[in-house]
Amino acid sequence: MADGVGRRAILDLPSILPAVSGLLSFPNPVNEKAARTVAAVVAVTAIAALASGWYWLVFPLAYGFVARALTGPTLSPLGRAAMWVARRHLGEARLVAGPPKRFAQSVGAVFTVAGAAFLVAGWDSGAIATLAIIAVFATLESVFALCVGCKVFTLLMRVGVIPERICMECADIGLRSARRSA
């Protein structure tokens, strides 16, 4: 490091930023079958935590939601496994828009991080309530393909909180799929 080579490498942001932005990307479109597989495991985990009293399971749930919100499946073992299962065992992909799914993962991250904070603070009731909410919403997604976070995303687009360009990206899934296969 005396010659400054190490320092230059650390401070060479233009070469680092593409790698970081690539890591912090989210797939668009998303295979809904993989998303529902993730939701099924999340629902089972939350229900198991509630049934067993193992409220500490909110910590791996929080990690998973944060990882998926920031990087899609890249840093989420569950996300990666779900993609593999969906690709190998659940038939042809059913593509849905990525931005609403990322929003839903972000909402899940907020809830589970709050649940983890409640648990650390000794407020088990807060963690229990969080796990119950996560169990309900993950079950709706996995069993009925009802993504409540996606519905909220759509509502926020309609009232103008989320920019219209995001809406155009969501509407463009069919065209994007056709371009990839061409």
In this prediction, residue 75 has a pLDDT band, given cuts at 50, 70 and 90, of: confident
> For residue 121, what pLDDT is reported?
98
Q: Is residue 165 part of a domain?
A: yes
Q: Is the pLDDT of residue 136 over 60?
A: yes
The model's confidence at residue 106, banded by pLDDT at 50, 70 and 90, is: very high
Mean pLDDT of 22-32: 77
Instruction: Give the integer Cα–Cα distance in Å for 63 and 115.
Output: 12
Rounded to 10 deg, the angle between the 124-144 and 32-52 helix axes is: 140
What average pLDDT does the segment 99-112 reach? 96
Structural domain including 168 reads: 24-181
> Is residue 39 domain-resident?
yes
Q: 32 and 176 in contact (C-beta within 8 Å)?
A: no
Region 22-36 average pLDDT: 82
Instruction: Please compute the mean of the pLDDT values over residues 31-51 and round it to a whole number.
Output: 97
Across the range 81-101, mean pLDDT stands at 89
Distance CA 133, CA 111 (A): 8
pLDDT of 182 over the 50 cut? no
Work out the burial of residue 88: count CB atoms within 10 Å of its CB; fewer than 13 is exposed, 13-18 middle, 19 or more buried: exposed
Residue 56 included in any domain: yes
Per the structure, how many domains does the chain have? 1
Whether 151 is in a domain gets the answer yes
Tell me whether residue 110 is in a domain. yes
Is residue 10 included in any domain, yes or no? no
Judge whether 4 lies within some domain. Answer: no
- Spatial distance between the Cα atoms of 64 and 37, rounded to a whole number of angstroms: 13
Per-residue CA distances from 122 to 59, 65, 107, 110, 149 (Å): 14, 22, 23, 18, 28
Does 141 map to a domain? yes
Sign of CA dihedral 168, 138, 119, 72: negative
Given a cut of 90, whether residue 141 has pLDDT beyond it is: yes
- Answer whether residue 176 shows pLDDT above 50: no
